[in-house]
Amino acid sequence: MFHWDRGLKLTKADLAIDFRRRQPRAFISHAHADHMARHEYAICTPETVALYQHRLGQRSVLELPYRKPIDWGGLRLTTYPAGHCLGSAMLLAEDGDNSLLYTGDFKLGPSATSQQAEFPNARTLIIETTYGKPQYRLPPREESIAKLVKLVRQTIDDGAVPVIIAYALGKSQEVTRILTDHGVRVVQHDSIYKISKIYEEFGVDLGGPELYADRVQTGAALIIPPRAPTANSGPQLVRFVVTGWAIDTSTKFRWRADHAIPLSDHADYDELFEAVRRVSPEVVYCTHGPESFVDRLYEAGIDARQLGRRNQGRLF
């Protein structure tokens, strides 16, 4: 039903999945740069279409809303929420009795800014396994949120400016909504602000973030993307990084941050097992994660394999 050609393809439909190089036809699970390219023709959710075209310009697209199946290229295709960022989608491909679910990047738990992930049953599961090592068991979401809000408020009360480093699409909007829900004023870097406007166009309330005007002001949290410059003079800056990798004690130092908050848009180690349980597949292929996770699944009695490494060129 699928094969590997320096990337995943649905064989019958000749449909590339999350390719980073230009393809005649491709499915895009979400609009992060490592999952898309300027394809000749792309299939994705309406939200991802808007973000895709914002980032890469006008493209030929087919919108595929959640839970509304279409017959395409000899397959039945349906998207389901992935919980990762606005518009992020899993793809279910069905061919008679055969079925395949591709998760793309996903988060199992609740999100402040995207629909919670849904897992249909499928005979074959291709799963993203970013946090496929046992040490990546994240603390409860409520605990990380409480820590973030407490430290941000404390920073503002001290007359300093909390500068939160977060990816422009997804994490920045999640953090914005969390902070504004707790009464914190938020100012966003231009690249983040433009994406937030797309979120708002699709009905996601972010609590009224403001546009950063190149002058750091006290009394608000400033959210910037990685490597964005900030003022060298003015109020004291306290730097935060918000990422699942914060579970590693080295993260704070690698990002040159004062605080690292473990809040992720990806499923953690235990949630990966839970996702497999929900799909109940006959075979699991793992991608975007450590090969050791394949061994962990195998030890748990699950037929698991690594996608695109030892299996290159094979049809499945």
Mean pLDDT within 307-315: 53
* 108-146 pLDDT per residue, tens: 999 999 999 999 999 999 999 999 999 999 999 999 999
Query: Is the same domain home to 252 and 270?
Result: no
Kindly report, residue by residue over 202-253, the tens digit of the pLDDT: 999 999 999 998 788 899 999 999 988 776 667 899 999 999 999 999 999 9
Residues 71 and 167 in one domain: no
Between 311 and 306, where is the model more confident?
306
Q: Please determine, for residue 153, whether its predicted confidence score (pLDDT) is greater than 80.
A: yes
Q: Of 261, 281, 298, which marks where a domain is finished?
A: 261
Question: Is pLDDT above 70 for 315?
Answer: no
Residues 167, 201, single domain; the answer is yes
Q: How many domains does the chain have?
A: 2
What is the amino acid identity at position 76?
A: R
pLDDT single digits (tens) 156-166: 999 999 999 99
- Same-domain check for residues 257 and 270: no
Report the distance separating Cα 180 and Cα 162, nearest Å.
14
Q: What is the pLDDT of residues 259-299, one digit of tens each?
A: 999 999 999 999 999 999 999 999 999 999 999 999 999 99
Same domain, 127 and 145: no
Is residue 291 assigned to a domain? Answer: yes
Residue 313's pLDDT is 39
Q: String of b and e for 274-302 (b: at least 16 CB within 10 Å)?
A: ebbeebebeebbbbbbbeebbebbeeeeb
Same domain, residue pair 22 and 41: yes
In a domain, 311, yes or no: no
Q: Are residues 148 and 166 in the same domain?
A: yes
Predicted confidence (pLDDT) per residue in 154-202, tens digit: 999 999 999 999 999 999 999 999 999 999 999 999 999 999 999 999 9
10, 88, 258, 260, 302 from 31: Cα distances, Å: 20, 8, 29, 25, 31
275 and 211 belong to one structural domain: no
Return the pLDDT at 316: 40
Instruction: Give the residue numbers spanning the domain of 98.
Output: 2-135+266-306
At 216 the pLDDT is 80
Q: Model pTM?
A: 0.94
Torsion sign across C-alpha atoms 32, 37, 42, 46: positive
Same domain for 175 and 244, yes or no, is yes
CATH assignment of the domain containing 189: 3.40.50.10890
Q: Are residues 59 and 123 located together in one domain of the fold? A: yes
Whether residues 35 and 130 share a domain: the answer is: yes
Residue 312 counted as domain residue: no
State the pLDDT at residue 233: 63
- Examine the domain organization and report whether 128 and 145 are in the same domain: no
